[in-house]
Copies of this chain bind each other. A is one copy, B any other.
Amino acid sequence: MAKLDESLLNRLPPFSLLDRKQIREILDLATSQRFAEGATVYHEEEEATRFYLLLDGTVRALHITSEGEHVTALHVPAGQLFGIARAFGRSTYPATVEAAAEVIALWWPMDLWPQFVTRYEGFATETYRTVGQRLGEMQTRIVELSVLHVEQRVANTLLRLIDQTGRQAEGGTVIDFPITRQDLSDMTGTTLHTVSRLLSAWERQGIVESRRKQIMVRQPNRLTALSGPRPA
């Protein structure tokens, strides 16, 4: 395998306080791996044997019910750690993770976790901050699911997606990984039919523009207007 370049890590929060030698050390312990769109990185409840750093692409954490329904918990953008079960005292992964688009990730054996936490300054702090962020996102999901209507939830979700992973394009902002109506409905607790109807209606009004597996938001402010009461 080609030697990994140090510039991959030194800008990322969990490693930003480290010197070249330490970064080198960490990279030499890492394995890099590519995942195709839709590929599963690991399954919920599986023994957590590795922790990952997402170098490129977007990854999706989801739960699959006994009925086979998919519930998407959150999306992880490039640059963040995931699969960090140890950070909250679990020995198994709390969710299934799959690649939303083609993905490049680094991973380390989980046995190294304790030494990363103790040896590398700032690593622990940053990972706990990440945990805090995810917790916050989940709380937002719960509140939204509890009090908002489907239309408002889908509007909010689209706004969040273009905010987190939006790419500027002619005429608007595009979600920069392939996303189906089904995916959106898994994120909002509704059906692909309802999402399809909403997107059709919004397209007629010029708010969004969508092709197969792609959504562009043209008028984010009008989505905001549909997204319901401002969060507290």
Copies of this protein in the assembly total 2
Instruction: Flag if B139 contacts A88 (CB, 8 Å).
Output: no
Interface size on A, residues (CB 8 A): 39
**Which of A61-69, A192-200, A207-215 contacts its partner?**
A61-69
Instruction: Flag if A69 contacts B147 (CB, 8 Å).
Output: yes
Instruction: Flag if B143 contacts A88 (CB, 8 Å).
Output: no
Q: How many Å lie between the Cα of A44 and that of B229 in the bound state?
A: 18
Question: Does A142 interact with chain B (Cβ within 8 Å)?
Answer: yes
12 additional A-B residue pairs with CB within 8 Å, beyond A134-B135, A138-B142? A65-B232, A67-B147, A69-B147, A71-B147, A88-B128, A88-B131, A89-B129, A90-B132, A131-B131, A138-B139, A145-B145, A145-B146
Which A residues lie at the B interface, using CB under 8 A? 44, 63-67, 69, 71, 73, 85, 87-90, 94-95, 125-126, 128-132, 134-136, 138-139, 141-143, 145-147, 189, 229-232
